[in-house]
Chain A
Amino acid sequence: MPIIAVGLVTLLTLILGTAGLRFARTTSNFFVASRSVHPAWNAFAVCGEAMSAASFLGVPALILVFGVDMLWVLVGWTIGFFLLSLFIAAPIRRFGSYTIPEFVDGRLDAPKLRPIAALLVIVASWFFLLAQLKGAGVVIRALIGTPYWVGVVAVGVLVAANLSAGGMRGITFVQGFQFFFIFLGILVPFAVISVIWLNDGDAFDDTALVTNDYPAFAAEITVRYERTITVDVPDATLVVIDGLVDGIEYDARSVMIEAGTRTIGAGADITWPAGAAAPHTASVDRLTGAEWAEPLGDKSIGGGHPLYFSVAILLANMFGIMGLPHIVSRFYTNPTGREARRTNLWVLALLTPYYAMVPLFGVIGRVVSPDLLGNGATDSATLVVGERLLDGVGSDLVTSIVAAGAAAAFLSTASGLLIAMAGALSHDILQAGVPQFRFAVWLGAAVSISAGLLVESFDINVLIGWSTSIAASSICPLLVLGIWWPGLTRRGATAAAVIGGGASTAAALTTMFGVVDRGWPFAVLATPAVWTVPLAFATGIGVSLRDSDKVVDLGHKMALMHVPERLRPESDGPRVVTETTVGA
């Protein structure tokens, strides 16, 4: 039944995306949906993008493993959307560009900066897209048991086909509808699980969440290890192993597995008895219920630097949302700046209940599916919680609703990311029209699918963290300074983008390749926004102050961004970009 639900979402995505083909004739249609999207519908589409695999699958996984400290992620995102309202949504819409690099070029008269900004858009969006493809691979595998690559390739191709047909106009319809699937995919299981938790004291042992006990299996369970993984086994336990452990092949034999670090081969099945302490991925600390429930503990996220990590996570996500291209570009589709701001108010009103519900899946997941702590499948926590708590049709129904929501989440966000990447490549680097946009969509999809096959071992939110750090340290300073500080010059903006973007990308790659994995160097490089965001802002301001080459026509540009449309003279409309028309 779950796969039917995913199939329905996919079919609807294709039908609505193809319907957009009728409207997709001009550059304006393709990039900004002719700037005619109603605030409410645009808010649904923004939510469709914001409710990504990162929040649907990644946040419950983080909470399951690390506990309360991970709530900073959701707080950071929510503040980020509020800051978008305050500083960016309305002015950037009023300026009238199609893409962020075009805004940078128009605001600073800096054609040489445009490809640099486009490159940053592509890099930030690419890491985010990899997380969505990872989510697709995990969900499809969990539902029908296909290899990881099937979900990655299927979703990549589907999204590219949809985008190349309908562009932004088509995808706005699709994302609006997908929002409802995502929201229901969380709301329905949240309600069911809450009712069970509040009414059935025997459903699971919730006291384990806050006691000094380590997670343990409540009943006998057979755990599948999809990929080779190193785990810490807390106690010597009599288990049944079918597969490879520590280089020895077992054929469904009872074995006493000793306490300590063990390497379990891909495809192994291990049956753990009821009451056994749950093994834990060796790369993260094992937490008791109390350590997990309380913030800023010695063993919580950050390996001994929890306060730094908490502040870093907050800042990265907050400033990251302000610079994420696929989010910012949705505000171009509103008719006016005022409606862009109103869209964002709707977004906050819809996102907040969703963000308040999502942590429950990590909380309950820790009790009912502690096997996820050891088999590297924490990203599927949202999917399995309902299945573990319910039986029969109820289980199938709830899992189907969650699966449909998860599919909508990664399809919708992947669409927004690919359109941001393709827009930057075709409109800002190639400076071409719709045919090149379609080429850029397929090129971006091909590169992302190839890389998506290699990130199976990365947590979704690790990839998201890199993306938000890069966006926060490069695109966000360009937008905030460009909109609010008349003193920003071409050299200042270029220096801010290169230094901030370069430092955060280098930090992401350093942690990606495992150059450091513990202590302060790891803390500083794994969540670099604490120093890269101030560095980028300081660089932009410092270089601009010493630069005598000021931007011309500055008063007009600032007025364009900050004076509401209805107060402007008719002749002072948005910046017009040459339309490119394709044949029918």
Chain B
Amino acid sequence: MVLVPLVAFAFALDFWPSLGRWRPLGLLPLPWLVLGPVVLFSIVVLAFFHERTALRIENEWAEPRRPIHRSANEIED
């Protein structure tokens, strides 16, 4: 999830060098922004969501398991 866009970005810069000269915020060119704060803080956000998901799965497993039972109506549906 993280690696693919980054490697794609590297390849894009290799084939489209002018992307590396584009300065959306004045002095800092795009690659400095992408490889700096944008990617770094995106990884933290991903990690936060990963931790939340991991906790949710752990809690689900910790609950007493309900027997798998479906009514005849549900089967017909």
Contacts and interface: CB of A to CB of B under 8 A. Distances in A.
Interface stretch (A128-136, A349-357, A545-553): A349-357
A68 B35 contact: yes
Contact of B13 (A79, A82, A296, A348): A296
A356 B62 contact: no
A345 B48 contact: yes
Contacts of B7: 311, 314
A356 B32 contact: no
Interface string B1-44: 01100110011011001001100000101011001110111011
A72 interface: yes
A78 B48 CA distance: 13
Contact of A295 (B13, B46, B58): B13
A187 B46 CA distance: 24
Contact of A210 (B29, B31, B36): B29
Interface string A343-369: 011001100100110010000000000
A566 B58 CA distance: 9
Given A85-B47, A294-B20, A342-B51, A307 B14 contact: yes
Interface in A71-114: 71-72, 74-75, 78-79, 81-82, 85-86, 90
Given A296-B10, A296-B20, A307-B10, A74 B31 contact: no
Given A294-B17, A564-B61, A567-B62, A206 B36 contact: no
A295 B54 CA distance: 37
A539 interface: no
A296 to B, nearest CB: 5
A348 B62 contact: no
A86 B43 CA distance: 12
B43 A71 contact: no
Interface size bucket, A side?
Answer: 35 or more
A71 B35 contact: yes
A293 B58 contact: no
Contacts of A306: 14
B58 A356 contact: no
Nearest to A209: B27
B50 interface: yes
A345 B47 contact: yes
B29 A567 contact: no
Contacts of A27: none
Given A75-B39, A345-B47, A68 B31 contact: yes
A341 B40 contact: no
Contacts of B10: 295-296, 307, 310-311
Contact of B36 (A86, A318, A342, A356): A356
Given A294-B17, A348-B43, A341 B51 contact: yes
Contact of A79 (B27, B37, B43, B61): B43
B35 A567 contact: no
B36 A71 contact: yes
Given A68-B32, A75-B6, A341-B54, A348 B44 contact: yes
A78 B14 contact: no
A81 B44 CA distance: 10
A141 interface: no
11 contacts: A71-B35, A82-B43, A85-B50, A86-B50, A210-B29, A293-B32, A307-B10, A318-B3, A345-B47, A349-B44, A356-B40
Interface of B: 2-3, 6-7, 10-11, 13-14, 17, 20-21, 27, 29, 31-32, 35-37, 39-41, 43-44, 46-48, 50-51, 54-55, 58, 61-62
Given A71-B36, A85-B50, A359-B32, 7 more contacts: A78-B43, A79-B3, A294-B20, A294-B31, A311-B10, A355-B40, A567-B62
User: Which 3 A/B pairs are nearest by Cβ-Cβ distance?
Assistant: A71-B35, A294-B20, A295-B31
